[in-house]
Chain A
């Protein structure tokens, strides 16, 4: 439990934009996109209104999890340059409001998903919120350098939720998409944590570069890229997708591997000289958008 005391002037209510900021809108874009692709890749057509509501629920659920994460981590956020401007550490909002907002939005998103789509999708959405808040934020993040490895599962749920909302079941393809995001998360976050290492060290978060150093982190990035590429390409040889997806996934994974090799070859510990790490971090976002985009295109042209 965090011990931070709020500095917000409780006499002045928080601005609505601060509640919006609690939902981490930038992170949400990737969550919404992968959820939408999972929904569109499902072999069952879905009514546009139900599909829109399902994506809205995924976005609200992700926003709720983000708000609860910011509520719990207000003390850590206050110690890191990257997060000092967030509503809680900046003192623009009291912690109780953030907690109520996060819990309320969680219940709302799960119930709406159950009513509009189906209760399997609602159940997976509830599990994803609980996993992000309880397993990643509360349990793992402050305790182990493997936080991002296991916690990465939280961000891997959206395509499964999207698929479940449309099809009402979960088959091998959404599970492979889950595996892809699960294995993509460590190299993505470790690339970031290499060049913001001092921030994590100042906050006492045991990220891999802080605990084991840059060399081990670079090895692990390269190591995780291999099973990630295998998970990305696997749907093609298994006959779950066509060549459009297969070729795109293989080419993009090859590029990802090349960027990971550059990171592995870099020996610098100065953030200013970590261009390969910054390039890999930026490309990893493009990679996920492109692979999931290729999946939808493949489905449409199949």
Chain B
């Protein structure tokens, strides 16, 4: 059984790392969509 105080610490650390990974994934997705758009435009010209 994990003590409540330690539980809160684990929860906060996991929420922070998950938020960071989500932000990085979203940033990568935006860059990828931009690159795909440029590649598609280049293919059509």
Is A15 interfacial (CB-CB < 8 Å)? yes
Is B30 interfacial (CB-CB < 8 Å)? no
Number of interface residues of A (CB under 8 A): 14
- On whether the beta carbons of A12 and B36 are closer than 8 Å, the reply is no
Residues of A within 8 A of B15 (CB): 13
Given contacts A16-B17, A115-B36, 9 further A-B contacts (CB under 8 A): A11-B7, A11-B11, A12-B14, A15-B14, A15-B18, A47-B39, A47-B42, A49-B36, A50-B40
Contact A49/B18 with A11-B11, A12-B7 known, Cβ cut-off 8 Å: no
Mask of B3-45 contacts with A, CB within 8 angstroms, 1/0: 0000100110011011001000000000010011011101100
For residues 7 through 50 of chain A, which have their beta carbon under 8 Å from a beta carbon of chain B?
9, 11-16, 47, 49-50
Binding site for B on A (CB under 8 A): 9, 11-16, 47, 49-50, 53, 56, 115-116
Q: How many A-B residue pairs have CB under 8 A?
A: 36
Binding site for A on B (CB under 8 A): 2, 7, 10-11, 14-15, 17-18, 21, 32, 35-36, 38-40, 42-43
Secondary structure at the B interface, as helix, strand, loop or mixed, is helix
In the A-B complex, the 3 residue pairs with the smallest Cβ-Cβ separation, listed nearest first, are A49-B39, A16-B21, A47-B39
- On whether the beta carbons of B17 and A15 are closer than 8 Å, the reply is yes
